[in-house]
Chains A and B, each alone.
Chain A
Amino acid sequence: MTDALAVEVHQLTRTFGDFVAVDRVSFEVRPGEIFGFLGPNGAGKTTTIKMLTGLLAPTSGSGRVAGFDLARESEAIKQRIGYMSQLFSLYADLTVEENIAFFAGLYGVTGARLAERRDWALEMSHLTEHRRQMTGTLPLGFKQRLALGCAVLHQPPILFLDEPTSGVDPTSRRNFWDLIYQFADRSTTVFVSTHYMEEAEYCHRLALMNRGRLIALDRPAALRGRLTEPIVEITTDQGPAAAQALQGAPGVIEAAMFGRAVHVVAERAAVAAETLPRWLAQRGINCRGTSLVPPSLEDVFVSLVRREGGVVAG
């Protein structure tokens, strides 16, 4: 299955009553790829991953994971994937070692391979010394590494990680991404969702989702390249007010909050840098400076959503 696609879905849809959580999504993931799923909460990332991992049946559409049909062969898929859910879902009242033994048992990892994989998982999660500690008492960063370890005990060719780094500190996040790269180096396909824009940059290819729709799919650099207009960053103490005021300013295509600053997609950078501080001053909003910045994925995201005539969910 070296040449076969790791994941392919066609018009995948899931509704909950009247609510369309995932709306006719189609894409393909190649083996060995780090495939990112980016979007705000409620964009449909988790629902899509649940359908791909056999936890949720699609309402319509079709797809294959590791060559098996989503609707009919979900148990065969589960043998060949690792899944780490958004919320910590190992057993808090089992020790580190017991959790590993349990999931190894369910994945049919036994004998010498079990010992080897257990040691690997302990080392990878830095828990060799704490193997007899109750899992519930570990810090979140360790729990997440252990969850990853338990999800890949059977060395699956495809790994699904649903916001694996949510809630942990930036250092732990970086370390976690080092792990993801290690998996990809060993030709594991990694399907990872995130709402951290800076993490999205680490992916080989990126699918942008908003309100259940797939709005773009490309390499991060290519996505940034789609935004040809210059980005002017405006430093201000009154971000929300500034963003709102700048929406209607001359020469401004878009204005949105970016951290504590405001990013403006301008028709011409030089003109914007000169006129916008004055525009803000006339409205009683201070401006501490302007600078030309390269487009971030967030800028791209906001721009693509607006271009579709939509709003960012969240």
Chain B
Amino acid sequence: MTRSLDLSARRLLAMARKETLQLKRDYRSLITAFVYPALMIVFFGYVITFDIRDINLAVYDQDGSQRSRELIQAFQAAGYFRVTQRLDRYQDIQPLLDRGAVRLALVIPPGFQRDLSAGRPAAVQALVDGADANTAAIALNYAGGIVTAYSARVLLRASQGSVPVVAQARVWYNETLKSSNMVVPGLIAVIMMVIAAMLTALTVAREWDRGTMEQLAATPVHRVEVILGKLLPYLVIGLIDVIAAVAIGLLLFQVPFRGNPVLLVGLAALFLVGSLGMGIFISAATKTQLLATQVSLLATYIPSLLLSGLIFDLASMPFALRVISLVVPARYFVVVVRGIFLKGVGPEVLWIQGLAMIAFAAIGLTLAVRAFRKEIA
């Protein structure tokens, strides 16, 4: 209804102050603002893991030799396996795998040491529970690695010179291949998206639900002032959350932080403006708190969790999902947070994501302002 953009900082601040006071007294919003994000980081940080440790292992050592014990020792020392069963009969393996008591069974045939000493190839058998294909593959992978390393040692000991070829792989950025290093920074992005949208989803709808919109709309306050005034306190909260989440990542999960914190906070601010704007947009469009909460949860949670590259590799997704993921803002921010945390990269690499953040902030704000009406029927 207004044509001229005659904004007043005083009105904007009055709006922000009022919103802060209400927020301070609304314990549900405070929990959403400060407790949820911390809980989500800790919870998801531990739950979403691709590391497999302490795999239960059954051993059927038919050889009972020094060499066979060495190999078993190698399995135990690697840190991935725990020998929980020592068997005397081959038939005992299947029930254990069936029950899921062990995931992997290692069978060392008789004559293992003899073959090795004679310089003949010796085979060991690994039986794996393939019900969970992912874990099975990883377990087999580990087992293969341990056996290969052991063979190399045996060859060396036989002092037949050096092992012909040894691949010296070096992993960059996440040297220990700890999955929490990947997950926790990405989580910060996804959680910020969800929390920001949830927080502001209530703000406009609450004015409608409680009837305060009518008095507000009768004042000369401009809708841009309303939106920015409502956004400001939540932006501060969001930035506090980001810093707290980074601290949790560093202290609890020991994720390395190699990049520029100022760049992270700057891009986080843009991302938050976009997410908060989305929340306000949903709030202004739905006009009831219940509906606004549900819509914003649906609109942010699922796409951010599934299509951001946090858990599932985007490159291996079907074409249609990859296209959809292009408009999921968290996708870009996940790259930003991981890049700054693990790689220490700056604007020279993250400029595309930076532009995406600017675009997201602009779109979020525009949608919020456009959806907000000062008309009361």
Contact = CB atoms under 8 A, between A and B. Distances in A.
Given A57-B375, A105-B10, A105-B13, A93 B26 contact: yes
Interface string A78-104: 110101010111111110001001111
A108 B212 contact: no
A57 B219 contact: no
B217 A101 contact: no
Contact of B218 (A85, A87, A94): A85
A98 B11 contact: no
Contacts of B212: 89-91
B218 A105 contact: no
Interface stretch (A48-56, A189-197, A286-294): A48-56
A178 interface: no
A50 B376 contact: yes
A75 interface: yes
Interface residues on A, range: 35 or more
A103 B220 CA distance: 10
Interface string B1-35: 11000001011011101100110011000000000
A50 B25 CA distance: 31
A165 interface: no
Nearest to B26: A93
Q: Which of B8, B13, B15, B221 has the most CB of A within 10 A?
A: B221
A16 B17 CA distance: 36
A74 interface: yes
A50 to B, nearest CB: 6
A281 interface: no
A110 B9 CA distance: 13
Given A98-B18, A106-B14, A56 B377 contact: yes
A104 B21 CA distance: 16
Interface string A98-131: 1001111111101000000000000000000000
A47 to B, nearest CB: 9
B203 to A, nearest CB: 13
Nearest to B13: A105
Contacts of B216: 89, 106
Contacts of A106: 11, 14-15, 216, 219-221
B313 to A, nearest CB: 46
Contacts of B17: 101-102, 105
Contacts of A53: 218
Interface in B135-153: none
A106 B217 CA distance: 11
B218 to A, nearest CB: 4
B22 A94 contact: yes
A75 B215 CA distance: 14
For the complex of A and B, 5 pairs with smallest distance between CB atoms:
A105-B14, A83-B218, A89-B215, A106-B219, A78-B220
11 contacts: A74-B1, A75-B220, A78-B218, A78-B219, A89-B216, A93-B25, A106-B14, A106-B216, A106-B219, A108-B11, A108-B220
Interface of A: 16, 50, 53-57, 74-75, 78-79, 81, 83, 85, 87-94, 98, 101-108, 110, 147, 150-151
Given A85-B211, A150-B215, 5 more contacts: A83-B218, A90-B212, A93-B22, A106-B216, A108-B11
